[in-house]
Amino acid sequence: MAAALANIRLKRAYEPPSEEDGARVLVDRLWPRGLTKEELHATAWLRDLAPSNQLRRWFHANPDQWAEFRRRYLLELKSPETAKTLDQLHKLVQSHSTVTLLFASKQLERNNATVLKELIERNQAARQP
């Protein structure tokens, strides 16, 4: 019998934690300004999965270039440097029924967490018989 697919959720880091969050994973390079560890209540901080500072700055200056940001970010996620951290995320997804990816961006639909969510869901679907 195939393992059940994890429910991947997205949530701004500034929203309060809830029981429905499951494992809470911060996927930003920088800690959310003004939040303590206790307030964030993160299971893990996978900062190496965040876009490089160069890409983050580029996208901030070019917010209308979502498709290009997404393409560049997916290329960064294929690098050997991120492989170990991406594996950590996949293990969290496999061991929890719900994983909530936390991000600080005010952009709710166009941020690195949405790209990671798509990547995880695509990988889960590919593993299903």
- The pLDDT tens digits for 41-64 are 999 999 999 999 999 999 999 999
By CB atoms closer than 10 A (0-12, 13-18, 19+), residue 73 is buried
Average pLDDT over residues 24-29: 97
Strands 44-45 and 7-12 come out as unpaired
Q: What is the mean pLDDT of residues 18-30?
A: 96
Strand partners, 102: 11, 26
Residue 129: pLDDT band with limits 50, 70, 90: low
Question: What pLDDT, on the 0 to 100 scale, is given for residue 125?
Answer: 82
Reported as a single tens digit per residue, the pLDDT across 67-81 is 999 999 999 999 998
Mean pLDDT of the chain: 92
